[in-house]
Structure 1
Amino acid sequence: MKELIRTNDVVILSLATSLMKDAGIHAMVADQSMSVLEGSLGLLPRRFLVETDRADQARRILIDAGLEAELKLP
């Protein structure tokens, strides 16, 4: 799995997940359970991960959707 986005914004994570589902790319949001440690304040960023072999395709989809500013550098 390759990390493409690290954010606290659940809307961005939801959009990215939906885009990957539509494209048939396996994706997951890591660190969702960290809220137990932080007290549900949303301070710890979540990581958006996609299949390593389809990361370039996933990156293009996210850029086309206007999420370029959210992407981690390659």
Structure 2
Amino acid sequence: MRELLRTNDIVLVSAVEALLDGADIGHLVLDQNMSIIEGSLGVLPRRLLVGNDDFAAARQLLSEAGLAHELRLDD
């Protein structure tokens, strides 16, 4: 799996999840329950991962949705 984006914006995470679900691209959100540790301050970013085979398609999907600026730099 590869990291597609990292953000503190939970609304963005939900929007990206909806886009990926609509395109039938499997994904995993990491660190979404870290608010318990951080005291619900929202300072720890959530990481959204997709499978290696779907990585290019997911990047293209987010770019077409106007979210290219949110993508992690491609390694």
Judge same fold: TM > 0.5, yes or no: yes
Q: TM class, shorter-chain normalised?
A: over 0.9
State the Cα distance separating 1:43 from its structure 2 match: 0.4
- In structure 2, the gaps of 5 or more residues are none
Poorly superposed stretches of 4+, deviation over 6 Å: none
String of CA shifts for 1:4-38, please: whole Å, max 9, x gaps: 10000011111110011011110121001111110
> What residue number does 1:6 align with?
6
Task: Name the TM-score, length of structure 1 as normaliser.
Answer: 0.96
Q: Structure 2: how far apart are the matches of 1:53 and 1:28?
A: 14
- What is the root-mean-square deviation in Å for CA atoms of aligned residues? 0.7
Partner residue, 1:58: 58
Unaligned runs of 5+ in 1: none
Q: How many residues align?
A: 74
TM-score (norm 2): 0.94
- CA offsets per residue over residues 21-64 of structure 1, 9 Å max, x none? 01111012100111111001100000011111110000000000
